[in-house]
Amino acid sequence: MARLVGGVACSHVPAVGAAIDKGKTGDPYWAPYFAKLEPARAWMAEARPDVCLVVYNDHANAFSLEVIPTFALGLADEFPPADEGYGPRPVPVVHGHPELAWHLAEALIIDEFDLTLVNEMTVDHGLTVPLSVMFGEPEAWPSRVIPLCVNVVQYPPPTGHRCYRLGQAIRRAIDAYEGDERVVVFGTGGMSHQLQGERAGLINVDFDTHFLDGLVADPEAIAGISHVEYLREAGSEGIELVMWLVMRGALHPSVREVYRATHVPTSNTHNGLLILEDA
């Protein structure tokens, strides 16, 4: 059966992608942040995933307000980087894993998660920045990728509880897959940040620390955080943290925290990076 070798939670700040793409990672502003990525990249090199299931959100690129799927699974052979309004990121095309993706589609829908299935889509910084964070700048991505896109742009996003349960269903499906692939699940976005309104710039380190500690040790409690609490405490865009619960649900109830790094600020965001393995 396929083997889930770990979970990664990772912010997907577009400015991090821009810093990599423009060769600014050694600048005084960026160097302290990028230094914190080295242990995570070393873990990734050891983990050698064949497939990364990346839970992320699209930011008005593959999807618009015309159709707003709450959960959309990418089934394609490849996913080109999106032009987000200023040209696509100069990163490799993302190659999918249609066989495992279709297995997930069938297993999850029968398990009562009503996914939208997507055969053609571009992927934006929400997916490609976490790949850059964990893999650096390879000629080709060293792993196949299955995108799982969650709506967190049009209120309301799915609840944290729903995301956690989806993660548990994903684990059941991975465990039931007949291939021998090594799989890493990513939950992306967050941590606290607010990009809009007169309160823009909100950062709440105490909330984020509580979230991280709870995600590791008591995910059922963290899954109960309400939307209004995310909005008030983590900022209007901090509600992206629900996507980290999909990753957490895919791991065992008891996990080992392999690595944690946080950094403030990356642009407007309290940046978080967390690696977990089953205990």
Q: How far is the CB of 199 from other proteins (least distance, A)?
A: 3
Residue 201 is a binding residue for other proteins (CB under 8 A): yes
Residue 90 is a binding residue for other proteins (CB under 8 A): no
For residues 29 and 102, which CB has a smaller minimum distance to other proteins in the complex?
29
Catalytically annotated residue among 12, 125, 263, 270: 125
For residues 127 and 250, which CB has a smaller minimum distance to other proteins in the complex?
127
Buried b (16+ CB within 10 A) or exposed e, 92-121: bebbbbbebbebbbebbeeeebebeebeeb
Give CA separation, 74 vs 17, 70, 195, 267, 277, in Å.
Answer: 22, 13, 27, 29, 25
Residue 32 is a binding residue for other proteins (CB under 8 A): no
User: How far is 52 from 33, CA to CA, in rounded Å?
Assistant: 23
CA nearest to 50, candidates 10, 108, 5, 104: 5
| Count of chain residues binding other proteins (CB under 8 A) | 45
Could you say which of 95, 161, 210, 232 contacts other proteins (CB under 8 A)? Answer: 232
Measured in degrees and rounded to the nearest 5, phi and psi for residue 27 equal: -60, 150
The end-to-end CA distance of the chain, in Å, is 19
Residue 85 is a binding residue for other proteins (CB under 8 A): yes
The contacts of residue 213 (CB under 8 Å, 6+ apart) are: none
95 is catalytic: no
Q: How far is the CB of 166 from other proteins (least distance, A)?
A: 23
227 is catalytic: no
Where on the chain is the footprint of other proteins (CB under 8 A)?
14-15, 59-61, 64-65, 82-87, 153-156, 192, 194-207, 227-228, 231-233, 235-237, 264-265, 267-268, 270
Residues marked as catalytic:
125, 193
